[in-house]
Amino acid sequence: MTPDPVSRAEGLLHYAFVDRELLRKALTHGSFSDVPGACDDYERLEFLGDAVLELVTREYLLDAYPLEAEGMLTRRKIVIVRKKNLAVHGMRLGLDGLALVGHGYIATPGARRSLAADLMESVIGAIYADSGLEEARIFVRREILETTDLGEPDPDPRSMLQEYCQSRGLELPVYRTRERSGPDHSPLFTVSVSIEGKEAGAGSGPTRKAAREEAARMALNNIERTV
């Protein structure tokens, strides 16, 4: 007889829950509510797991890169916690295939990736709720931090800034050209970038594209204080 998703998930996660209903909830998609007798979905545990992942990631990076400035640490953190990375690990573990979904759920490739990312966070939240920070830390380090490539972060700061906003449910960055100066053959553009109506950074460059990239880079350096 095929084991139920909770038993299978415990094997994949290498963690035995004291309260197995926490894991069941962590695997339950909102669409499952159209199934009679369904339990609550994973959104609250995902919310908790997001905070635990953030804390453990910061701890890890401070230990792993003791000489790095805050700006670079922030960029590395964004690489780790963004949905794209969480989806890779969630699908590697096969969590998307264990989710409890309703009849209305359409399993497109994009939906499965999004689901896998959400489940990674909800599982982290469930482990924390079940046994506390130390067990959650062990899981995050083993399944995410020690298996994520932490070489040089994504060199495209605009993509990184957009990923950060999407992962936090924020509006996408808005770029505005403040000034164009200099002669026609050698112009200088100054661009600012705003998030949720607040200026997060500004930069200059010989083209609008270069100025936007510099503004995004400055926003990433400032983001912990401005968002």
DSSP secondary structure of 85-140:
HHHHHHHHHTGGGT-B--TT----HHHHHHHHHHHHHHHHHHHHHHH-HHHHHHHH
Cα 114 to Cα 110: distance, rounded to the nearest angstrom: 6
Per-residue confidence (pLDDT) for residue 104, from 0 to 100: 65
Per-residue confidence (pLDDT) for residue 107, from 0 to 100: 62
User: Is the CB of residue 191 less than 8 Å from the CB of residue 203?
Assistant: yes
User: Is the CB of residue 96 less than 8 Å from the CB of residue 112?
Assistant: yes
Per-residue confidence (pLDDT) for residue 31, from 0 to 100: 65
Cα 17 to Cα 159: distance, rounded to the nearest angstrom: 37
HSE, side-chain direction, 13 A CA sphere, residue 164: 27
| 189: its two tokens | 């553009």
DSSP state of 103: T
Positions marked catalytic: 50, 121
User: Is the CB of residue 205 less than 8 Å from the CB of residue 175?
Assistant: no
User: Is the CB of residue 29 less than 8 Å from the CB of residue 116?
Assistant: no
Average pLDDT, the chain: 85
Q: Which tens digit of pLDDT belongs to each residue from 199-213?
A: 999 999 888 888 898
CB atoms within 10 A of CB 209: 12
Cα 209 to Cα 196: distance, rounded to the nearest angstrom: 21
Q: Write down the architecture of domain 5-147 according to CATH.
A: Orthogonal Bundle (1.10)
Q: Which tens digit of pLDDT belongs to each residue from 33-51?
A: 655 554 578 889 999 999 9
Per-residue confidence (pLDDT) for residue 227, from 0 to 100: 39
User: Is the CB of residue 205 less than 8 Å from the CB of residue 188?
Assistant: yes
Q: What is the pTM of this model?
A: 0.71
Cβ density class 83-109: b for 16+ within 10 Å, e for less: bebbbbbbbebebbebbbbeeebeeee
Query: What does each of the 227 residues of the chain score in pLDDT, given as a tens digit?
Result: 446 778 888 888 999 999 999 999 999 876 666 555 545 788 899 999 999 999 999 999 999 999 988 777 887 888 898 888 999 999 999 998 887 766 666 667 777 888 899 999 999 999 999 999 999 999 999 999 999 887 666 557 888 888 788 777 788 999 999 999 888 878 899 999 999 888 999 999 888 888 898 899 888 877 654 43
Per-residue confidence (pLDDT) for residue 109, from 0 to 100: 78
Domain boundaries, the chain: 5-147, 157-226
Cα 214 to Cα 64: distance, rounded to the nearest angstrom: 27
Q: Write down the architecture of domain 157-226 according to CATH.
A: 2-Layer Sandwich (3.30)
Q: Supply φ then ψ for residue 170, to 5 degrees.
A: -90, 160
CB atoms within 10 A of CB 201: 23
